[in-house]
Amino acid sequence: MRTLTDTTALFQQKVASAWSAKADRLQSATGILLGCFLLVHLHFESSILFGKEAFYHVVQFLEGGMFSETGHGYPLLTSIFSIFLLVVVLVHAAFALRRFPAQIGQWRALRSQMQVVNHSDTRVWFWQLVSGFILFFLVPVHLYTMIATPEIGPHLSAERVYHDKAWLLYIVLLPAVVIHAMFGLYRVAVKWGIGANRNGLRKLAHVLVVYLMVIGLLSLAQYMIIGSELTLPVEPFRP
């Protein structure tokens, strides 16, 4: 016969299990949203490789320039969307921290396991932890910049990268966010049974990491080149 203590413990266990399942779904959902956004974002950013005018028109489209009488977009939309992204990032981080090793001993145990057991998914999870730790500090800085100074354009973005030394942030942020996002999408696909071929999915994740790193670094280099040719104060680009 169950005692009151046993019944209470069973109820608490069911509640904890239900909450854990909801937390996993929310973590996966926010992770998918952020990962897909990164894929789109880096491709929009890479339009600078096709010239200043190409990037200018992409920016005007994203900022709703077609709804403006002058044809110029609304930078406020960038601020609003950046605030939304910051909220999503904080929610994702809050749920992800549940599984984050909190003590140095846990990190040592993980490292020891990786040295003894050559398991690909364990290495993926380790790099997820490392990149997630880096992003916890860098992503809010980047999003705050976009909230406070949302003006984007070939010249204004190049000024931020070159003259404001934002490249120091992006050179660390880029690999961390690409690795975290692509490996995160891979782990979500495996966890929820989206793809049966785990090796194929892992190879695809590696290919996407390399591809996004290449277009991201090329775009960053192009901003550096444009920025080095600008004189202060910088005038916004007009085609």
| Tokens coding 233 | 């104060």
CB 209 within 8 A of CB 179: yes
Residue at 108 is within a domain: yes
State the average pLDDT over residues 22-51: 92
Predicted pLDDT of residue 108: 59
pLDDT in tens, 43-88: 999 999 999 999 999 999 888 877 777 767 788 999 999 999 999 9
Residue at 138 is within a domain: yes
Residue at 55 is within a domain: yes
pLDDT in tens, 203-238: 999 999 999 999 999 999 999 999 999 988 989 888
Residue at 9 is within a domain: no
| Tokens coding 136 | 């916890």
Asked whether the predicted pLDDT for residue 40 surpasses 50, the reply is: yes
Distance CA 16, CA 22 (A): 10
Asked whether the predicted pLDDT for residue 10 surpasses 50, the reply is: no
Residue at 5 is within a domain: no
For the chain, the straight-line distance linking the first and the last C-alpha, in angstroms and rounded, comes to 81
Distance CA 61, CA 72 (A): 9
Q: How many CB atoms lie within 10 A of CB 49?
A: 13
Residue at 117 is within a domain: yes
Residue at 156 is within a domain: yes
CATH code, domain with 157: 1.20.1300.10
Asked whether the predicted pLDDT for residue 17 surpasses 50, the reply is: yes
pLDDT in tens, 113-137: 556 556 577 778 788 888 998 998 9
pLDDT in tens, 144-171: 999 999 989 999 999 999 999 999 999 9
Residue at 14 is within a domain: no
pTM, two decimals, is 0.84
| Tokens coding 200 | 């194929």
Asked whether the predicted pLDDT for residue 92 surpasses 70, the reply is: yes
pLDDT in tens, 175-192: 999 999 999 999 888 887
Domain extent at residue 170: 24-228
Asked whether the predicted pLDDT for residue 15 surpasses 50, the reply is: no
Predicted pLDDT of residue 119: 59
Among the listed residues 90, 98, 127, the one whose alpha carbon sits nearest the alpha carbon of residue 111:
127
Domain count along the chain:
1
